[in-house]
Amino acid sequence: MAAEIHIPTLAPEAIFHIGNLNITNTMINAWIAIVIFLILGIFIKRSISLKPGKLQNASEFFLDTLLGYFDQVTGDRKKTIRFLPIVGAIFFFILLSNWLGLLPGTGSITVGHNMLLRPANTDLNLTLAMALVSVIGSHLYAFATIGVFTHLGKFVQIKNVFKSFKKGPIAVLTAIIEFGVGLIEIVSEVAKVISLSLRLFGNIFAGEVLISVISALVAALVPTPFMLLEVLVGVIQAAVFAMLTLVYMTVATSAPHGDEEEAHH
């Protein structure tokens, strides 16, 4: 008799409630990831010494590798160190959350009619929250680096319109076009949030559905290649999300082209 196919729904399922708060299966997986990082962080902190052990060596290796990749984007080690807490945390959280979704029991252990464990990034609420942290964080870094008004001037360039009246019609037309481009940039910031959240959610959710269907239809060994593929997808999605966040922060904290030239002169 064929196994029952349990197709994951778009919305996460509530496992239990704390007051009016629904505790979903994706939240449980996210908490597991957070607890693992907490325990790992405590062990790493306690193992730090002038003669590093295996855990410290492994941690330093991963950190050096990450810093090298980040430097290729920022072009500045100081910026890399500054962005590392947020971007690094996003990368490792997404990576571990994706891999936890491949462990035995995820998607198969049920409480009532709901799955007890489900990959955290199949919850659009979580991916949307991380996307907001990514985009809003880039603007906060920009405010602290180049100033509030300088950064806002990239989007609302009304000052140039008034200045252009003294320079002739061509300058006025150019200023109006720049003002319109600034408004488009505001729309693009919203698009960043949507694209980041939907890309991660869509890829991880699609992988979960694929593995669920194949696992129910065929023998246990057949889904193995697809699970190995999901391991690679988990790395790629974590890297893409983290690198895009890093790009947003690097671009946002760069002074406008005209301001850089004035500072140079």
Question: For residues 46 and 31, what is the distance between their CA atoms, to the nearest angstrom?
Answer: 23
Q: Can you give the pLDDT at residue 265?
A: 43
Given the structure tokens 């950064």, which residue do they identify?
Answer: 151
In-domain check, residue 158: no
DSSP state of 6: -
Number of domains in the chain: 1
Separation in Å, CA 5 to CA 106, 107, 119, 141, 227: 14, 11, 18, 47, 17
Q: Can you give the pLDDT at residue 194?
A: 94
Cα–chain center distance at 260: 30
CB-CB contact of 70 with 83 (8 Å): yes
CB burial readout 171-200, b (16+ within 10 A) else e: ebeebeeebeebeeeeeeeeebbeebbebb
Average pLDDT over residues 151-165: 71
CB-CB contact of 90 with 164 (8 Å): no
Question: For residues 33 and 234, what is the distance between their CA atoms, to the nearest angstrom?
Answer: 14
212-262 pLDDT, tens digit each: 777 666 655 556 677 778 888 889 999 999 999 999 999 999 876 555 444
Q: Can you give the pLDDT at residue 261?
A: 44
Query: Two tokens at 252?
Result: 């946002």
Is 258 exposed, middle or buried (CB count within 10 Å of its CB: 0-12, 13-18, 19+)? exposed
In-domain check, residue 237: yes
In-domain check, residue 212: yes
In-domain check, residue 178: no
> Which residues share a beta bridge with 22?
17
Query: Two tokens at 94?
Result: 């997404």
Query: Two tokens at 79?
Result: 């910026």
In-domain check, residue 262: no
Q: Residues of the chain with pLDDT > 70: what percent?
A: 82
Between 264 and 180, where is the model more confident? 180
Most confident of 9-23, 102-116, 141-155: 141-155
Using the predicted structure, report yes or no on whether residue 164 has a pLDDT greater than 80. no
Question: For residues 184 and 178, what is the distance between their CA atoms, to the nearest angstrom?
Answer: 10
Alpha helical stretches, state H, 75-116: 77-100
Neighbours of 142 (CB within 10 A): 22
In-domain check, residue 166: no
Average pLDDT, the chain: 82
54-95 pLDDT, tens digit each: 888 988 898 999 999 999 999 999 999 999 999 999 999 999
Cα Rg of the chain, angstroms: 23
Query: By residue range, what is the domain housing residue 139?
Result: 23-143+193-254
In-domain check, residue 174: no
In-domain check, residue 229: yes
- What pLDDT band is residue 7 in, cutting at 50, 70 and 90? low
Q: Can you give the pLDDT at residue 50?
A: 82
